[in-house]
Chains A and B, each alone.
Chain A
Amino acid sequence: MSDPGTASPSRGLSRLLGRLRRNPAALAGTVVFLFFLLMALIGPLVAPYSFEAQNIAQRLRPPDAAHLLGTDQYGRDILSRILTGSRGIFLLSGTGTLLAAFIGVSLGLFSGFYGRLWDEVLMRILDVLLSFPPLLFALLLLATLGPSPLNLLLVISVLYVPMLARLARSTVLDLRTREFVEAARIRGERDLAILFREILPNALGPILVEISVRFSYSIFLVASLGFLGLGVQPPSPDWGLQINEARSFFATAPWILLFPAGAISLLVVATNLMTDGLRQVLQPGSR
């Protein structure tokens, strides 16, 4: 039997599923998202070919039974490259976003909770970071540091930390004056207990929504950087890189470009739909 003091998580989960069922778009989005997430884990195992196996005899083949999504200019199987490329997307965008979330949310929580000078200074620094156009900023950093996966991760974090920190801070600012926080003060809770037991659970909804929004943005960002040649380097099956490489063959073999582009759109749209569903569940009343 679980401790009567805590709400059982299984009840929360079943309620989440129940509400998702009433929102078919969000459900579809979640399914697609989970599919790509699964591929990120096991993609290379289920892909029919290796992502770098070249077969010049089979180059620029349109989709058929052997190559469901056709082949590219080196005769590599596009389906396999997309499935395998999912891992890169989740590794870069996913971890980048999570890293940004961890740093940003921590900064925002403490900054909003303690306020005063520290808050003022931090927010001004973040304002400076926010004032750069994101893509330009990313290009600047990567051109200086050189394109490597680790630097990409860094770029994503630096770009998204300010946004997540601001959101976490404003959520905390709103929650910190609520009566249940005052009630906690009156029963002598320490600051950390108030922050993590009283405030954080209530701030989690908007923060999770923001994280998933940022994730879908960063997919675009990674793809854009890959397309510009500043992201992952060949022969990686990165989707953006694939589009870049496919440019010159667009007239004769459009599928090389369309399928990776479609994969990006599908994952971004799916993530957004899932976010909308998440928002409805976690932040009822907002649209």
Chain B
Amino acid sequence: MADQATVFQAADLSIGYRTESGLLPAVRGATFSVHEKECFGVVGESGSGKTTLAMGAINYLSENGEVLGGSSRLRGQEITSLRRFQMRRIWGSRIGMVYQNPSAALNPSLRIGEQLCEVARRHLGLSRRLAGEASREMLARVAMPDPVAIMQRYPHQLSGGMLQRCVIAMAMITRPELLILDEPTTALDVTTQAVVLDLVAQLTKELDSAVLYITHDLAVVSKLCDRVGVMYAGEFFEQAPVRELYHAPLHPYTLGLLGCVPRFDPEGGKHLLASIPGSIPRLDRLPAGCIFAARCPFVQDRCRTSSPPLREVRPGHFSACLRWDELPTAAEYARSTPAVPAHKEERPEVLRAVEIKKSFPPTERLFGSGGRKSMSVRAVDGVTLWVRKGNTLGVVGESGCGKTTLLRVISGLAPGTSGDLLLDGRKLERSVQRRPRKVLKMLQMVFQNPEASLNPRHTAGRAIARPLRLLAGLSRREARGRVSELLQAVNLPLAFSRRLPEELSGGEKQRVAIARAFAASPRIILLDEPLSSLDVSVQASLVNLLCELQERNNVSYLFISHDLAAVQHLSHWIAVMYLGILMEWGDAEDVFAPPFHPYTEALLSAIPVADPDIRQRPIRLEGSVPSAANVPSGCRFHTRCPRKIGRICETETPPWREGRNHHSIYCHIPLEELRRLQADTIARTTKGDG
């Protein structure tokens, strides 16, 4: 990397925000550089200052933001001191920007073509005709299927992934020297994310841009970036080439972050995740010494008084830790936590769902249906599954696959159209309102977003006490005692029982919600993506909490998520869902090892794995999930299936092919054939995959 020209360089950059309570030092003494054709990743949890750093470095701060010191140079030109009108010639032409939410970055009332042309005309000084040509060419480069047609569309007519490609095209049309990507795939599905990531990687190599990639997702970084900087509460803790950072990080925070990500390791035994205790310090109350000391497992007395600046401790590897040379490797650290016992034996069923269907009637429109005949949406279209005692069944799938609807049908919140639910062999009423309390007691739920699932006007204590009084039939006094026990069980201080949700952090709220679900000692808990709205370190501690609570209470989980690594980590059984039905189902180890269903294979190939040494065969799904109002005939995956074998896939529904230990795949291709084809879908390069 060093032999390539430096495109962008920030030196000792400090950025602050003026607030009511004074100046908040959001970024302090940040130094980094990005070279030609290089992708520099900045990772950190929310509040680490990574977006502020990028925006401050290009002099693009909000009204109350201010660069307090240091410099940033674009090709040697100092830009922090430039005025706004001078910067306007640089933003959008020499520096391109792509944000998280593509639909917010585009003007909803202008056609895609107009918006692209405008950039080309403004910054490249092209005529209308030439700008149109340049836009078409750029859209083709971002792999848009029909650029001419796309240019005539309005943003709302395109899917999220397509929009993000348009935004990338807009940012790249001027061939910027520096491209800043701020969480560009966070709002997208895994399969779409994979396409966008491929595109970014390919374009930067082609167009000689330097890329500054901001994300919270260590896995994405490991796939895309050449060098990575780890930020925490406004400071860089470590910067290193991506391989070194992942295998031998030289800062405890990096080590902790890596430990928080479930390892995608279907064969190895499972361990609890190495979570980071505590929370990020407030910017207006930064401690003396190392700001990570309070949460660091390797802390010594000297850390609390002094902290070294970020310095080069090995060639190309920078760390801000005093004890950088005494840390274990990432693999050692991940194995240092207690192992999670595996459940090999067959256990009795707790819940069985038989041929569950849920369809939503077509929406009535006041002014006719606009020429289209609207069909009822078959969100869940015949799912049979069961959950065993003390086990977890994970259901994975992209958004729109019907997994949330499935959970709502089981919970009774959205009663199913047909199908039976059996809890401990007894039939369940479809609607939650018709289930007696002694049934409700056995089946509880944790919702996706704790902000929404806790009543903002009820204290944590009240939230937990209610199910105790209602379902467990405890007296007020008994309930109070149990609330303390439950708070303790989810590792919250007792004083929190008097707090309102707004006085709790996101992770703390979710802990309260978990305590509430456990209050009535249920047999099974439905988990509706309970981690996805939280930071990695918080996720890790909650994953551990869920594991421990399951172990202690022998409770079963039905866990739905789009995060394959989390599902793989938590689940004993896994079901893969697509367009309202299951595609594959079986033991966690079997589902994520060949043979896979071609859809599972595509998912596995698309998810970024937080390990630069794992090579995945690039299988990319084109297009988006078909509408559940108009399900394809035959195998409903055939429209996107990379392994489609012919007419049979379009006309006949596939058979369930059963392998060992109930592992079943819904596909026309025989298992042996799949196994042969898929031997190298996911492989570790260092092991010599041959």
Contact = CB atoms under 8 A, between A and B. Distances in A.
Interface of A: 4-7, 178-180, 182-189, 197-198, 201-202
B453 A189 contact: no
A185 B449 contact: no
Interface string B441-460: 10111011100111111110
Given A4-B498, A186-B440, A187-B471, A180 B454 contact: yes
A179 B526 CA distance: 14
B306 interface: no
Contacts, number: 77
B445 A183 contact: yes
A182 B454 CA distance: 10
A15 B444 CA distance: 35
28 contacts: A4-B459, A5-B461, A5-B465, A6-B459, A6-B462, A7-B500, A178-B452, A179-B452, A179-B453, A180-B454, A183-B445, A184-B455, A185-B412, A185-B432, A185-B433, A186-B412, A186-B413, A186-B432, A186-B440, A187-B471, A187-B516, A187-B520, A188-B440, A188-B441, A188-B470, A201-B457, A202-B455, A202-B456
Interface string B427-438: 000001101010
- In this complex, the interface size class of chain B, counting residues with CB under 8 Å from chain A, is 35 or more
Interface string B474-516: 0000001001000000000000011010000000000001001
Contacts of B435: 188
Contacts of A198: 455
B411 interface: yes
Nearest to B479: A5
A137 B480 CA distance: 55
A116 B108 CA distance: 35
B567 to A, nearest CB: 22
Contacts of B457: 7, 201-202
B461 A4 contact: yes
A189 B447 contact: no
B466 interface: yes
Chain A facing B: main interface SS? helix
Given A4-B480, A188-B437, A188-B440, 14 more contacts: A4-B483, A4-B498, A179-B447, A180-B453, A182-B411, A183-B453, A183-B513, A184-B455, A186-B412, A188-B435, A188-B471, A201-B455, A202-B455, A202-B457
B500 A186 contact: no
Contacts of A5: 459, 461-462, 465, 480, 497
B608 to A, nearest CB: 29
A186 B411 contact: yes
Contacts of B458: 197, 201
Pick the most buried of A178, A187, A189: most chain B CB atoms within 10 A of its CB.
Answer: A187
B259 interface: no
B447 A183 contact: yes
A24 B471 CA distance: 48
Nearest to A180: B455
Given A5-B459, A180-B455, A183-B516, A189 B470 contact: yes
B402 interface: no
B467 interface: yes
B459 A7 contact: yes
A6 B458 CA distance: 7
Given A179-B449, A185-B413, A202-B456, A4 B516 contact: no
A197 to B, nearest CB: 8
Contacts of B513: 183
B521 to A, nearest CB: 13
A187 B470 contact: yes
B384 to A, nearest CB: 23
Nearest to A284: B502
A184 B453 CA distance: 9
Contact of B440 (A6, A182, A187, A201): A187
B433 A187 contact: no
B447 A4 contact: no
A187 B452 contact: no
Contacts of B466: 184, 187, 189
A36 B116 CA distance: 61
A183 B516 CA distance: 9
B257 to A, nearest CB: 29
Instruction: Please list the 4 inter-chain residue pairs (A to B) with the smallest Cβ-Cβ separation, ordered nearest first.
Output: A179-B453, A5-B462, A201-B457, A179-B452
Contact of A180 (B412, B452, B471): B452
Contacts of A4: 459, 461, 480, 483, 497-498
Contacts of B459: 4-7
A121 B412 CA distance: 29
Given A187-B520, A202-B456, A182 B470 contact: no
Given A187-B470, A187-B520, A188-B471, A182 B455 contact: no
Of listed A185, A198, A201, residue having the most chain B CB within 10 A = A185
Contacts of B456: 180, 202
A5 B463 CA distance: 8
A183 B525 CA distance: 12
Nearest to B461: A4
Interface in B404-433: 411-413, 432-433
B394 to A, nearest CB: 21
Contacts of B500: 7
A262 to B, nearest CB: 36
Nearest to A185: B432
Nearest to B441: A188
Nearest to B432: A185
A185 B480 CA distance: 22
A116 to B, nearest CB: 15
A202 B77 CA distance: 54
Contacts of A180: 452-456
A5 B462 CA distance: 4
A131 to B, nearest CB: 20
Contacts of A179: 447-449, 452-453
A189 B447 CA distance: 17
A224 B22 CA distance: 50
